[in-house]
């Protein structure tokens, strides 16, 4: 059974930083692209960032987070991280970790999802 468990969310002031972690089990982690999506109150879930499963670990970012957020993975620990810097109130959302075969921006391409972790950025 595949499990993705996020951690590291919380309350932070604008301009601050947080690092989210996602521990994966039940899948060949190194074979999967990993991604983060987020859903703000009253809005649809949106793509944040993704990283390929390949050794070059190419990364992709939504324009809203480019230059502020960084995705990384540790295949030895079956864990993916999301480093979030210069946080803004509009980054407030539930952040979801997900795994799929390709690093796309489409939710439907990711069969495995975590339950999410809340990130709240105060102004």
Contact in structure between 9 and 21 (CB atoms under 8 Å): no
Q: What is the pLDDT of residue 56?
A: 65
pLDDT tens digits for range 48-93: 999 998 766 799 999 999 999 999 999 999 999 999 999 999 999 9
pLDDT band at 47 (very low <50, low <70, confident <90, very high): very high
Q: What is the pLDDT of residue 60?
A: 96
pLDDT tens digits for range 96-112: 999 999 999 999 999 99
Checking if the pLDDT of 120 tops 90, the result is yes
DSSP string, 4-56: EEEE--EEEETT--EEEEEEEESS-GGGSEEEEEEE-TTS--EEEEEE-SSTT
């Amino acid at each position: 059974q595949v499990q993705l468990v996020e951690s590291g969310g919380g309350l932070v002031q604008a301009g601050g930083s947080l690092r989210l972690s996602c521990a994966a089990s039940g899948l060949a982690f190194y074979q999967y692209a990993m991604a983060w999506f987020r859903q703000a109150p009253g809005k649809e879930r949106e793509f944040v960032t993704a990283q390929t499963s390949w050794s070059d670990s190419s990364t992709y970012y939504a324009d809203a987070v480019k230059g502020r957020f960084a995705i990384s993975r540790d295949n030895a620990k079956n864990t993916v991280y999301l480093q979030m810097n210069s946080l803004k109130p509009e980054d407030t959302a539930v952040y979801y970790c997900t795994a799929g075969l390709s690093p796309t921006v489409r939710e439907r391409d990711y069969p495995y999802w975590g339950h999410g972790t809340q990130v709240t950025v105060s102004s």
